Amino acid sequence: MISVKNLHKSYGKLEVLKGISCEVQASQVVCVIGPSGSGKSTFLRCLNLLESITSGTVVINGHDLSDPKLDTVVVRKDVGMVFQQFNLFPHMKVLDNIMIAPIKVAKKSKAVTRERALELLAKVGLSDKAGVYPRALSGGQQQRVAIARALAMEPTVMLFDEPTSALDPETVGEVLLVMKQLAQEGMTMVVVSHEMGFAREVADHVIFMDQGVIVEEGEPAEIFEHPREVRTRAFLSRVS
Chain contacts with ligand ADP (rule: CB under 6 A): 11, 14, 16, 34, 36-42
Nearer residue to Mg ion within complex by CB, 9 or 40: 40
CB neighbour list of residue 233: distance below 8 Å, 6 or more residues apart = 227
The site partner of 37 among Mg ion, ligand ADP, none (C-beta below 5 to 8 Å per kind) is ligand ADP
CB of 123 to Mg ion, least distance (A): 27
CB of 139 to Mg ion, least distance (A): 18
- Contact between 41 and Mg ion by CB under 5 A: the answer reads yes
User: 201 near 170, Cβ under 8 Å?
Assistant: no
CB of 136 to ligand ADP, least distance (A): 30
User: 164 near 176, Cβ under 8 Å?
Assistant: yes
The site partner of 131 among ligand ADP, Mg ion, none (C-beta below 5 to 8 Å per kind) is none
The site partner of 237 among Mg ion, ligand ADP, none (C-beta below 5 to 8 Å per kind) is none
The four Cα atoms 4, 85, 174, 82 give a dihedral, to 10 degrees, of -30
**In the chain, at which residue ranges do the beta strands (DSSP E only) sit?**
2-11, 14-24, 29-33, 55-60, 63-64, 79-82, 157-161, 188-192, 205-210, 213-218
CB of 58 to Mg ion, least distance (A): 18
